[in-house]
Chains A and B, each alone.
Chain A
């Protein structure tokens, strides 16, 4: 049971570098989310997708882009990394957003921007 898989698990970037985080789920879920988690703060939604080919902005979208070309994959891109983007990033998925169904999270990707 793979569930939600994130790659890479850890990454160190220099300011200005770019990178992509990959999230893959094998549960045929429609909704996928990218969150960041910082000390002393709740999970904050970066971008989300309600289905293949669709994406939408969350609470903190600036500096990030996303794509959902395939239903099972949701990519998060940082075009020009900044130290403020140092965080733990979590991908999550659920079957339908309006249902009481739980969110399934990936293990997290720890990103440090120097």
Chain B
């Protein structure tokens, strides 16, 4: 079966760095996405990785290792507005997105 695993909840301090991990087992691989979802709102796109390595976009970076079925989202200089759920999704061989349950990130002052 297809499976995406990510921690249910994480807590971090304002100004710090946090890494949210995602492991996957899917039928084929056509890229991995990270989305941010604030409570009661729609998911919004953060990043896309299809090749191994690190993609940096401002305070957010995303890493992919296809051989390990592993990705992480790195958030630097955390701000209170970063409190949200972070969704990992993998595009399988049929170009369908398989979604993880999301990681709720709580930022404390």
Contacts and interface: CB of A to CB of B under 8 A. Distances in A.
A82 interface: no
B45 A102 contact: yes
Nearest to B48: A100
Interface stretch (B12-20, B60-68, B72-80, B96-104): B96-104
Contacts, number: 45
Interface residues of B, number: 24
A40 B83 CA distance: 17
A107 B38 CA distance: 11
Interface of A: 40-45, 58, 90, 97-98, 100, 102-103, 105-108
Interface of B: 4, 8, 30-31, 33, 35, 40-45, 48, 50, 87, 89, 95-102
